[in-house]
Amino acid sequence: MALRMFKFCTVLRSLPMRRQRQCFSGPLSILAKRKFSSETRSLQSFDEMIDMRRGQAQRSVLVQVYSGNSYSDLSELCHEFGKVRETFYYTTNEELHFMLVEFESKESARKMMDSATFGQQMPAVPCVTPFLWMRANNIKKAGKGTLCPCPEAVSDSEAKPEEILHQMRSAQSISQQISVLRNLTKMADVGTRLRFLTARQLEMSLSGAFPLIKALPFGSSVNGFGKAGCDLDLVLQLGGLEEGQEIKSQGSRLVYHGKNNQSCNGRALVQRHMEVIADFIQHMLPGFSKIQRILHARVPIIKFRHDLTMVECDLSMTNMTALYMSELLYLMGEIDSRVRPLVCFVRKWAQSNGLTNQTPGRWISNFSLTLLTIFYLQKKMVLPSLGTLIHLAGPNDKRMTADGINCTFLRDLSNLSISKNEETLAELLTGFFDFYAGFDFASKGLSLVSGKEMPKPEHCPLYIENPMERYLNVSKNVSPEETVRLQVELRNSSWLLEQIQDEEQNGRESQNWGVLKLLLKSDTSGFKVPKPKTFRLVQVKDLFSEQENGFSQPRPFLRDVNKSKPKRR
Ligand code: GTP
Ligand code: MG
């Protein structure tokens, strides 16, 4: 303990006085009544946003076309079925061209699907979904129709690295650099539409047998932290009912027969259902490929790709807490406009420094990094603790999952006070690195429920209490050496930011100024793109043991934290 305290003090002594105060002083501001600003929040609750997006998907079809020149032709065709609200010309990296058409009514979309015919290529199973392709029109109707200009092509990928670099170089301040990064990398409207349409396809194709089915997106596709091209996390409910909700009998004397699976129940039954769904997606449903069944995980999932929307999907069938977790993160992002740019930067920083990887493994996940940032913002009183949101919850906020997990917290943000903390993004980012550079990860865990540090209830290198299921550690997968790497990089960046701020006062020396220095290669020719280190990679199936995603045999430390303390330049 004494040694740990010494290490902590050594780090602190080397920080300027202002930043030492930040590390110790804790919350500096109190909460006051929040004023709404259309810039910072949509005033749309999570449930309203989900309903709006699901409605949009029900009114939409995705039509593959030869090129943007097909727009006039398709517009003319669409008008036969009803009024079109909006059309997006969407292209993929593989040079496929699509028109995403949203009608005014879902009946029009349905009429358009019903008018389509089945392809000739056998042995494709005839299947009605909102994914269509348009044949070339060989019979030209002379004089009919006017040529409409095609909308500008949109894609679900983030801006090119050169463009991000250029705009970050041209920003006026460090805070603006952070905002620019967020704006150029966040998921666009079309990305959200494509994800909800993918969910709609699954729902539609199974709804004949299961009319109450719901495929609900969660995770970064809906929590407001999503990057362009991020994965689609889905929970499929065959019953389609809210937890605890009962089917209304509607007074009918007739009742459907149902399948009683007496031979297996609970988890085993979910696994059997998922096997069937995985087979169906793999062999029957157009557009889906690369199906992987990971059914022995704590939360069984099916992974696959959609070749038309280019979305990677993780489908589960028993993950209601993750839906409420997404709602909580959505609310945290809505409460203060600085939250999402800051989280976006922290994720980019972690990726650039090789701390995260697309494949899940022994390293910290984007989800844990998000919680780490939210915890820091709670300490700064920018965000309330979950405990506060629970305390302010009203009767309409009550939510309980089938397995008894209480997910009740305030949903209506108009009842919430506004933070008096007016620090800029640059100040908050500096504070973030300082705070965690000196954080005692060895003995303390993070609780977003209290918004305070907590003693670790179990031995593990990094402990972030799961806000919904409080006996679980969200970062249980993180190994000792990855925790050390995280600490080293946090300290490096804390030092570098100090240098960057000095430079800001004394005049910039290069075009790669400000926080770009935290993201660029040492020769500053572009963003760092760490190669995946194969020795750090593990097989996906090995990650999902029955005992959560922990690793029972942690490897020894690669290097001592103290030995890797950076030299001051
Ligand atoms: P990206 O996909 O990396 O953009 O972020 P994400 O937030 O979508 O993360 P991910 O796809 O890994 O997980 C999807 C959702 O599952 C998260 O938003 C969480 O709600 C939940 N989740 C992810 N990891 C964990 C975990 O370790 N424990 C728990 N309880 N939930 C998790
Ligand atoms: Mg995700």
Contact between residue 46 and residue 327 where contact means Cβ atoms under 8 Å apart? yes
Residues 78 and 224 in one domain: no
Compute the distance from residue 169 Cα to the ligand 1 centre, in Å.
Answer: 32
Compute the distance from residue 232 Cα to the ligand 2 centre, in Å.
Answer: 6
pLDDT at residue 198, as a whole number = 97
CB atoms within 10 A of CB 545: 14
pLDDT at residue 532, as a whole number = 57
Residues 125 and 165 in one domain: no
pLDDT at residue 248, as a whole number = 58
Residues 222 and 282 in one domain: yes
Q: Is pTM beyond 0.75 here?
A: yes
**Number of independent structural domains in the chain:** 2
Q: Which residues are within 5 Å of ligand 2 (an ion), measured at CB? A: 219-220, 231, 233
Kindly report the CATH number assigned to the domain that includes residue 77. Answer: 3.30.70.330
Residues 276 and 214 in one domain: yes
Would 84 be classed as within a structural domain? yes
Contact between residue 494 and residue 483 where contact means Cβ atoms under 8 Å apart? no
pLDDT at residue 140, as a whole number = 58
pLDDT at residue 541, as a whole number = 42
Would 518 be classed as within a structural domain? no
Would 278 be classed as within a structural domain? yes
Closest ligand to the CA of 356: 1
Residues 174 and 315 in one domain: yes
Ligand 1 environment, Cβ below 6 A: 218-220, 223, 226-227, 230-231, 233, 322, 325-326, 365-367, 466, 472, 474
Closest ligand to the CA of 475: 1
Using the CB atoms, write b or e for 124-147: b if 16+ within 10 Å.
Answer: eeeeebbbbeeeeeeeeeeeeeee
CA-nearest residue, atom 27 of ligand 1: 474
Compute the distance from residue 50 Cα to the ligand 1 centre, in Å.
Answer: 18
- Domain final residue, candidates 304, 321, 338: 321
Residues 234 and 91 in one domain: no
β-sheet with 214-218: strand ranges across: 214-218, 232-237, 311-316, 301-306, 288-294
Kindly report the CATH number assigned to the domain that includes residue 206. Answer: 3.30.460.10
Contact between residue 390 and residue 409 where contact means Cβ atoms under 8 Å apart? yes
Closest ligand to the CA of 344: 1
pLDDT at residue 11, as a whole number = 39
Residues 215 and 179 in one domain: yes
Would 89 be classed as within a structural domain? yes
Residues 64 and 192 in one domain: no
Would 285 be classed as within a structural domain? yes
Residues 189 and 280 in one domain: yes
Residues 99 and 201 in one domain: no
Structure tokens at 242: 């809210």
Divide the 569 residues of the chain into consecutive groups of 10 and give the mean pLDDT of each group.
Answer: 38 38 32 38 84 97 92 94 96 85 97 90 79 79 63 86 94 95 96 97 92 94 95 89 54 81 79 95 93 91 94 92 96 96 97 90 95 98 97 93 91 87 96 97 96 94 96 95 96 93 78 91 66 47 39 29 37
Compute the distance from residue 106 Cα to the ligand 2 centre, in Å.
Answer: 28
Q: What is the extent of the structural domain holding 54?
A: 47-133
Would 249 be classed as within a structural domain? no
Question: Nearest Cα to 351, choosing from 230, 183, 439?
Answer: 230
Residues 174 and 281 in one domain: yes
pLDDT at residue 529, as a whole number = 67
- Domain final residue, candidates 289, 321, 353: 321
Residues 192 and 128 in one domain: no
Would 307 be classed as within a structural domain? yes
CB atoms within 10 A of CB 95: 7
* Closest atom of ligand 1 to CA, residue 360: 12
Would 182 be classed as within a structural domain? yes
- Domain final residue, candidates 321, 336, 369: 321
Rounded Cα distance between 444 and 450, Å, is: 14
